[in-house]
Chains A and B, each alone.
Chain A
C-alpha cells in the first residue's frame, strides 16, 4: 500500500510475475500504476506490505542495489553522454572490466539495431532510436526485471506499432522478465502474457489478454478493454433453458440471456456486448438471435472496417463494426436497422 498524503495511491495490490513473462499493468492515468512501478524500482517505499524479487525482500534496498532497471517514459538518456556511454553507464557503475563493457554494449546495441550509432549524442537520434537506447541501457545490465514506464507513449502511431512488435521479440529473444505500465489497452494486449487492470489504486483483474477481453469481471474492465455496448435491465423468470432480461426502458422488447443463474432472478444488471458480436439487418432476422431495433446515426469508415453508431431507444448509442468489404456498406445514416446477436454472446454485470 502506498499513500501520498491523505490520498491512497495504491491499495492492497498483490500480484506475482513469472520469470520470462511480459506483465502489463493497465489503467487510466491516476490509477496508481506509476506508484507501483516506482516502488518496484525503489524510488518510493510501500507504507505496508512487502516486495520480493527471487524470494528476497526489497524493502529498504536503495534503487542502485536492486536487480531491476527502469526504462523511463521520457527515456532520461544522459544528454552529455554518447549512445555507447549511455548504454555502458550501468556496467561502469558496477565496475565491470572495460573489455567486457565493450563486448556487452555491442551485444545490446546489436539487439536494438543501433550498431554504428554508438558515437552519437542522444539529441542526434530520432525518437524511436532514443527509445531503443533507453531499452539497451536497461537490458545490458541483465536485470532480473525490466521495468517499462509507458515505453512507447512518446512515439507516433506507426513507429509505435513497429516498436510493439520489436520490443516483444527482443523480450522473447533475451528471455527478459518485463513489467510494463501503460494506459494503452491495445498495446498491453498485443505485447503482454498477462495484464493487470488497475483503477483507483486497486487491481481489478489479472489474467491473459484474451480472458480479460472476453470475460471481464466488471463493467470497468469491460469498458477499459474495448467498446462495451450496454443495456441496463432486470433479470426475470425462466424461458426454457434461458432467462428473461427486461430492459429498464419499457419501449424495448424483453430479451433472453444465456448465462444467468436462478439466484440472480429479480436483480438489476447491465447487459454488455462487444461491437464485433453485433450484426445488422434491414429485415427482422431469425428468431434464434436476440434482436433490438434501432436507427443508424453515423457511419464511420476506418479503412479495413466500418463503424456504425446506432441509436437504441432515446438515449443509447451502440457501436457495431463490420468488415468494409461486406455489402452492408450501403447502410446510410437515418436508416432503421435491426441489431442482432447470438444468445451466447451477451454478458451480464450485476451491481
Chain B
C-alpha cells in the first residue's frame, strides 16, 4: 500500500459523506414515525401510504410526469435533428451553432425563466401546462443535442459511406446504421432530459400558470405549512427515480453495447405509460365523472395545504365543477406571478398587507356582497380592516398572531415579555423568524414603539437591540421552528401561532404566549382576481369556504383561527382554548397590523442586511 493513501481515503470518504450524508438522512427520516421532531420514534411506512392518498401531491406528480414525458419527447426529436444536421455543416458553422446551444446552459436559469415568461406573455399565450412544456423543451434541446453530438463524433464517418456504397439510400443509412448506433446515446439523452425536467424548479416557476403546479413547485410552496415527513417520502421516491435514470443513462453512454430490443420495447412502453398516467390525472384531477371535461373549472391559487381535500371534493360535488389548486409560497411570489401577466386564476389568498398592494395595483375584482351571505358572519374586530374597510375586495379567511412559543419544561414561569428573548440563560436555544418586518416588529413593540415606525433613530435603536441579541440566536427561520421546538433544539421560538400549535401536538410541554408589549396580528383574505374567468363561481366558492361548518373544519385542520364568528363556536374546545390558534379576545388591544411603511422600508432593508451580515 502506498504511503499517504490512508489520508487520501479519509479525505475522499469525508467528501462522500459531505455529498451524500444529507440525502441519507432525508431517506432515513422518511421512515421516521415522529411527525415533526427529528427524534427517532420508530420505523414506519405510513408516510409513503399517506403520500398515496394526498391528492394535491398526486396531482402535482401527474403534472410533473406529463410535462417531463412530453418535453423529453419534443426535445429529443428537435435536438436529434439539430445534432444530425450539424454533422453535415462546415466546421465553422458548427462552432457558431454549438456556441448558441451552450448559451442556454450557461446563462442563469432565472434569466431564462423570466425571458420565457415575458415571451409567452408577449405572444398572449396563457401561462399553463403548454408553456411549461415549451419551456422545458427549450432547456432540454441543448442537453440532448450535446449528448448526441458527442456520440456522433465518435462514429466513423466511413460507416455512413459504407452503407451508401452498399446501396442504402440516405433514409436507409439513417434507419439501419446511424439510428441503431446512436441508440444508447439517445436513450441516455432521454433519461437525462426526463430527470432534468422532473426536477426543474426555476423555469417551471416562471412559465407555470393555473393547473400547472409541478412537484418541485408544490414542495417549495409547502414551506408555509411546514415540510411534512410525506415530503421526505416523496423526495426519497424522486431520488430513486432520478438516480436510476441518471445511472442508466451513464451506463448506456459508457458501454458501447447496444440495448437489447426487449429492454428498449419495455422502455418505450414504460415511458408511454408514464405520459398517459400523467395526462389522465392531469386532465381530470377530480374523480373522472362522465361530464368531467365539460364541467366548469375553478382555479384556486393558495398557500400549500391551505384547504382540506375533502372540502374541495364537497364543493365539486355540490356545484358540479372541477377545482384546480395551484400553490405559492410567499405573498411576493403571488404578486410577482400576477404582475407578470399570469391569468386564469379565479380565487387567491393574499395576506392583509398584500391585499392593500393588490387593490392599489388594480389586480382585484369587486365582490358581490349579495352572493356572500356567509362573509357577514365575521368576528367583530375583523369586519372592517384598515386595508379594505368596506370589504369591497376581500373577505378575511384565517387570522392569527405572532408570539413566542416556549418549552414550559425548561421555562416553568410563563414569560410575558419579549425580553425573554434577550435572556442569556437561553443562549443558542432561541429561534427568530427569518422576516425583517416581523423581527423588527417584535423589538419595536418591546421598546414601546409602533411596529410600523418610520423614525430612522428608532429603527437604528432597534437594530442595536437585535445585534445585541444575535449571539443568543440559534437560527433565523420561518419554516421549521415547529420542528426545532418539538425536538427540543430550541426552547424559545419567535413565530406564528399555527406552527407552535403543531409543535404542541408533538411535545405537550410547548406553550404559546403573546407578550404584553404587543405583537403582530395578521389575516389571510379571500379575493377574486380581476382577470378571473369564473367570477360567479368564485363568489360561490368564497361563500362556501366561509360556511361556518366548512370554516371550522379548515380551522381545526390548519390550526389557524377562522375569521368566521360562527366557526369559532363550532370548533372543538381544545382548538378554541388554545391561545396559539385562537388568540384570546381580551388580548386584542395588544395587537397591531403590519402596514406599508412607504420609503422607510429602505431603512429596514439596510438595518436587516447589517444584522444578517455581522
Contacts and interface: CB of A to CB of B under 8 A. Distances in A.
B158 A74 contact: yes
B164 A62 contact: yes
Overall SS of chain B's interface: helix
A37 to B, nearest CB: 11
A23 to B, nearest CB: 19
A133 to B, nearest CB: 12
A63 interface: yes
B180 A80 contact: yes
A93 B158 contact: no
A141 interface: yes
B156 A74 contact: yes
Given A63-B165, A64-B169, A93-B168, A76 B181 contact: no
A141 B180 contact: no
Contact of A43 (B161, B166, B176): B161
A94 B158 contact: no
A90 B158 CA distance: 15
Q: Which of B156, B162, B168, B181 has the most chain A CB atoms closer than 10 A to its own CB?
A: B162
B162 A70 contact: yes
Contact of B181 (A65, A70, A80): A80
A74 B162 CA distance: 10
Nearest to B172: A93
Contact of A78 (B159, B161, B256): B159
Interface string A78-100: 11100000000110011000000
Contacts of A62: 164
Interface in B284-308: none
Chain B, interface size category, equals 10 to 19
B165 A93 contact: no
Nearest to B159: A76
A72 interface: yes
B594 interface: no
Given A63-B161, A70-B162, A76 B156 contact: yes
Interface string A90-128: 100110000000000000000000000000000000000
Contacts of B258: 80
A137 interface: yes
Contacts of A137: 166
B167 interface: yes
B177 interface: yes
Contact of A69 (B165, B168, B169): B165
A78 B164 contact: no
Nearest to B155: A79
Contacts of B159: 76, 78
Interface in A47-76: 62-65, 68-70, 72, 74, 76
Interface in A115-150: 137, 141
B180 A94 contact: no
A141 B166 CA distance: 8
Contacts of B156: 74, 76
Given A76-B156, A79-B256, A70 B168 contact: no
Interface in B342-357: none
A89 B181 CA distance: 15
B611 interface: no
Given A72-B158, A74-B158, A80-B180, A93 B166 contact: yes
Nearest to A65: B167
Q: Which of A77, A78, A141 has the most chain B CB atoms closer than 10 A to its own CB?
A: A78
A337 interface: no
Contact of B177 (A43, A69, A78, A90): A78
A137 B168 CA distance: 14
A69 B161 CA distance: 11
A58 B168 CA distance: 17
Contacts of B256: 79
Interface string B522-536: 000000000000000
Contact of A89 (B161, B163, B169, B180): B163
Nearest to B258: A80
A137 B163 CA distance: 11
A93 B164 CA distance: 10
A195 interface: no
A90 B167 contact: yes
Nearest to B184: A80
Nearest to B169: A64
A94 B167 contact: yes
Given A64-B168, A64-B169, A94-B167, A79 B162 contact: no
24 contacts: A42-B165, A64-B166, A64-B167, A64-B168, A64-B169, A65-B167, A68-B165, A70-B161, A72-B158, A72-B161, A72-B162, A74-B156, A74-B158, A76-B158, A76-B159, A78-B162, A78-B163, A78-B181, A79-B256, A80-B180, A89-B163, A89-B176, A93-B172, A137-B166
Given A80-B180, A90-B166, 10 more contacts: A43-B161, A64-B167, A64-B168, A76-B161, A77-B162, A78-B159, A78-B163, A79-B181, A93-B166, A93-B172
Closest A-B pairs by Cβ, 3 of them? A90-B166, A76-B158, A76-B162
